Amino acid sequence: MKRLFAIAAACAALALPAARAADAIASDISDMWWNASESGWGMNATQQANILFITLYVYSADAKAHWFVAPDMVGDLSNPSAPSFAFGGTLYETTGPVFSAAFNPVAVNARAVGAAQFTYTPPLAGTLVYTVDGVTVTKQLRRETWAVNDPSGTYAASLVTRSNTCSPAVTTTKSLGTATITLANNLFTLATSGATPTDNCTFSGTYSQEGRMGASTGNFTCSLSGTGPYTLSEIEAGTHGFLAAITATVQGCPVYGHLSGTRTTVP
């Protein structure tokens, strides 16, 4: 694969601008992507900074498995609040040695067949347009879910928010103390304790997931902040903690921002 990437990247460098340092983006594109009405083919996407590497697993005219790669799709991430982000680059068809024999990297070849563009609409949807030897294909894709990524656990949590209507442009950072998340039967609960100043909160709502991104919508109750609706989106959980985007109405003021937590247990 390193040789494949080297071949493709060398070709792509002739046509694409140099990669630039990435600014913040609404969410990571990396995932399995598909069209639910066309089960049987799909796209694998991996993002590093402002570069997207996609692999298309499709079929050739003889109905046999075929794949294409676009290893150097450059995206402009200079406006993290943009409604969509476009990544584009050269698409390659690859050939190489048979899998059942000793693998010889020298025998791997990449032929430029056209171009690929993926327009990402955070956090769950995208449009793929690619061309192979003059034939253009357009597909509407969404993240593909394999299993629930359970965020249950205990975390040291914090909340960063701002509002466009109440004290606009003022960002507030708040420690939530210890947050305990539970998920059972698609019911999500996040309960906090030990915040300073004391403002213990409970968020309760439904949970859903597409690809690696979870979401929860419901209501919260806080000892000082009162009650109101909330939506958590782009929920990601792993060994070290969790991340989520949040929108809520706090004491009549609509806010948006980030909710995150570091696991309080270390294996």
78 plus 33 within the same structural domain: yes
* Distance separating alpha carbons of residues 181 and 150, to the nearest angstrom: 9
pLDDT tier, 169 (very low <50, low <70, confident <90, very high otherwise): confident
Q: Is 215 found in the same domain as 166?
A: yes
Domain span at 178: 153-263
Q: Are residues 130 and 53 in the same domain?
A: yes
Please indicate, yes or no, whether residues 119 and 31 belong to a single structural domain of this protein. Answer: yes
pLDDT above 80 for 221: yes
**pTM for the full predicted model:** 0.86
At residue 15, the pLDDT reads 37
Q: How confident is the model at residue 150 (pLDDT cuts 50, 70, 90)?
A: very high
**Same domain membership, residue 190 and residue 114:** no
Using the predicted structure, report yes or no on whether residue 7 has a pLDDT greater than 70: no
CA dihedral 242, 124, 49, 232 (to 10 degrees): -30
Q: Are 50 and 61 contacting, i.e. CB atoms less than 8 angstroms apart? A: no
Alpha carbons within 13 A on the beta-carbon side of 145: 12
With respect to residue 148, please indicate whether it lies within any of the assigned structural domains: no
> Is 197 found in the same domain as 71?
no
Q: How far is CA 244 from CA 145, 197, 215, 231, in A?
A: 18, 23, 8, 10
Q: What is the distance between the alpha carbons of residues 227 and 137, in angstroms, rounded to a whole number?
A: 48
Residue range 173-198: mean pLDDT, rounded: 93
Q: Which of 108, 124, 143 is the last residue of a domain?
A: 143
- The tens digit of pLDDT for each residue in 18-27 reads 444 445 566 8
How many independent structural domains does the chain possess?
A: 2
Of the residues 115, 143, 171, the one at which a domain ends: 143
Domain boundary among 111, 143, 175: 143
Residue 27: CB atoms within 10 Å: 19
Query: Do 118 and 158 fall within a single domain?
Result: no
Provide φ and ψ at 54, rounded to 5°: -115, 150
Asked if 58 and 159 sit in the same domain, the reply is: no
Q: Are residues 132 and 8 in the same domain?
A: yes
Of residues 4 and 38, the one with the higher pLDDT is: 38
Confidence of residue 101 (pLDDT cuts 50, 70, 90): very high
Q: What is the pLDDT of residue 21?
A: 47
pLDDT of residue 10: 41
Q: 159 with 56, same domain? A: no
Q: Do both 163 and 256 map to the same domain?
A: yes
Q: Mean pLDDT of all residues in the chain?
A: 90
Tell me the mean pLDDT in the region 42-66: 96
Same structural domain, 187 and 129:
no
For the segment 109-124, the average pLDDT, to the nearest whole number, is 97
